[in-house]
Amino acid sequence: MAEPFADLLKESAIFVNRDALSPHFMPDHLLFRDKQISSIVKALTPSLKGERGRNLFIYGKTGTGKTSSVKYVIDEVKKLVTVKAKISYVNCRIYNSRYRVLSKIISDHLPNYAKRGYGLVDIYERLMNWVEEDGKVLIVVLDEIDMVKDLDDLIYTLTRANSDIKSGGITIVGVSNKISFKEELDPRSLSTLYETELVFPPYNSNELLAIMQQRVALGLKQNVIEQAALNLAAAISARESGDARFALKILSRAAEISDEKRLNRITTKEVEEASKSAEEEIAYELVSTLPEHQKLVIYAIALLTMQGSRYKKLTEGTETYLFSGEVYDKYAAISNSLSKEPKSSRWYRKYISDLEMQGLINTYESGKGIRGHTKLIKLAYSPEKIKGTVENGLFKESEAEGKAQAQE
């Protein structure tokens, strides 16, 4: 081959700007979120005036624009250079303990201090002095707040700060897409966090269509995507979950497929192909960000699915249905083997309904006859892949934990 790169370097017939289709891309204008954005602004207005505002809790399913809206407001706040309000955005998927969150906040505002690696008490005191010295109001945005392992301690610490300091204050904005999270909180944390609540509804297919069109205009060459293909992507995403990230994932993947095949159109065929693989990928992302015990429950389901249910009658054919009870037993055994206390069966039932809400499993009532009424559970994705994802996550986490503890 004379010019091995010639083909690869040929200009794409599909893309103008690939990045514009990425879910990480932040459009200048967020569609359909004016109401939510103004609610966030309203909640933060007292803080901007130097008064401690009410805490805000934002809930909505994945891909409903929570992070984008919050970041949009933060950028606007940061432009108001005169205000005493200081803001920290914390992605709790990364900063997932009280110590890490406080360290992150201090490194945002006192970067020199932060470098020295102090312990929790020192960080807390330094932070409080800093807030107090000229009556600042610190707004702490905790995105994916459900990922914080010692959340009750964190909320307690941040709330207590308000009574410890003589001037200024701290306002908390929590963001989450987990419903059962609310019930796991200590009642005191709950009432602190939920002073005001804001819900982000899922997008319908027209809204998803408009969100995709906004990106198509930025990222693709003119008229390369068929209207029918866009409509299909919107319909699939609306039916799945009303998740804009999913819609964008299908869109960008379909575009990649056309580009790789050197086509000059994106049709419903590429969208169909893309939606299958996007669905799988999202499932693995979801699994890797589940709270620990939900992760263990889905792990138990994956292992049992690979082994086959003890109740052979139900595993005829290709589908494996598991009994809720056997899944619980397996979950408890796995927890014990990792020296973790298994949660009660009441919690377990909540986890199951959460996993179902996220589309990772399906459940059915067994009807009479099979051991009375019981719930049957079926994994919605490949058990091998789910197992691999959990093992990966757990391994990495315990390693990171070791490092963090060495620091604390």
Residues near Mg ion (CB under 5 A): 67
In the complex, what is the shortest distance from the CB of residue 182 to ligand ATP, in angstroms, rounded to a whole number?
15
In the complex, what is the shortest distance from the CB of residue 175 to ligand ATP, in angstroms, rounded to a whole number?
7
Verify binding: residue 67, ligand ATP, rule CB under 6 A: yes
For residues 141 and 90, the answer to whether their CB atoms sit within 8 Å is yes
Verify binding: residue 23, ligand ATP, rule CB under 6 A: yes
Verify binding: residue 68, ligand ATP, rule CB under 6 A: yes
Nearest to 61 by CA among 179, 152, 161: 179
* Max Cα distance, the chain (Å): 75
Verify binding: residue 253, ligand ATP, rule CB under 6 A: no
Verify binding: residue 66, ligand ATP, rule CB under 6 A: yes
Closer Cβ to ligand ATP, 73 or 127, answer by number: 73
Beta carbons within 10 angstroms of residue 143's beta carbon: 21
Query: Binding to ligand ATP (CB under 6 A): which residues in 186-245?
Result: 211, 214, 244-245
In the complex, what is the shortest distance from the CB of residue 332 to ligand ATP, in angstroms, rounded to a whole number?
29
Contact region with ligand ATP (CB under 6 A), list: 30-38, 132-140, 225-233, 300-308:
30-38
Measure the CA–CA gap between 334 and 322, rounded to whole angstroms. 17
In the complex, what is the shortest distance from the CB of residue 21 to ligand ATP, in angstroms, rounded to a whole number?
9
Residue nearest to Mg ion (CB): 67
Closer Cβ to ligand ATP, 198 or 322, answer by number: 198
Closer Cβ to ligand ATP, 44 or 58, answer by number: 58
Tokens of 3: 């010019």
Verify binding: residue 18, ligand ATP, rule CB under 6 A: no
Tokens of 81: 């250079």
Measure the CA–CA gap between 69 and 141, rounded to whole angstroms. 12
Closer Cβ to Mg ion, 67 or 252, answer by number: 67
Beta bridge partners of 173: 56, 141
Work out whether the CA dihedral 302, 304, 309, 315 comes out positive or negative: positive
Measure the CA–CA gap between 219 and 214, rounded to whole angstroms. 9
Measure the CA–CA gap between 268 and 228, rounded to whole angstroms. 7
Query: Binding to ligand ATP (CB under 6 A): which residues in 172-191?
Result: 177
Phi, psi of 370 (to 5 degrees): -85, 95
In the complex, what is the shortest distance from the CB of residue 243 to ligand ATP, in angstroms, rounded to a whole number?
8
Measure the CA–CA gap between 365 and 373, rounded to whole angstroms. 7
Closer Cβ to ligand ATP, 27 or 367, answer by number: 27
Verify binding: residue 64, ligand ATP, rule CB under 6 A: yes
Verify binding: residue 32, ligand ATP, rule CB under 6 A: yes
Q: What angle do CA 96, 100, 102 make, to 5 degrees?
A: 120
In the complex, what is the shortest distance from the CB of residue 64 to ligand ATP, in angstroms, rounded to a whole number?
4
Contact region with ligand ATP (CB under 6 A), list: 13-21, 27-35, 118-126, 263-271:
27-35
Within 273-371, strands assigned E span: 322-323, 361-365
In the complex, what is the shortest distance from the CB of residue 177 to ligand ATP, in angstroms, rounded to a whole number?
4
**Count of residues interacting with ligand ATP (CB under 6 A):** 21
Measure the CA–CA gap between 127 and 105, rounded to whole angstroms. 8
Work out whether the CA dihedral 378, 379, 380, 384 comes out positive or negative: negative
Element (H, E) at 383: helix 383-407
Verify binding: residue 248, ligand ATP, rule CB under 6 A: yes
**Lookup result for tokens 């693995």:** 284
Tokens of 36: 């939510």
Contact region with ligand ATP (CB under 6 A), list: 58-66, 100-108, 128-136, 353-361:
58-66
Which parts of this chain interact with ligand ATP (CB under 6 A)?
A: 23, 26-27, 30-33, 60, 62-68, 177, 211, 214, 244-245, 248
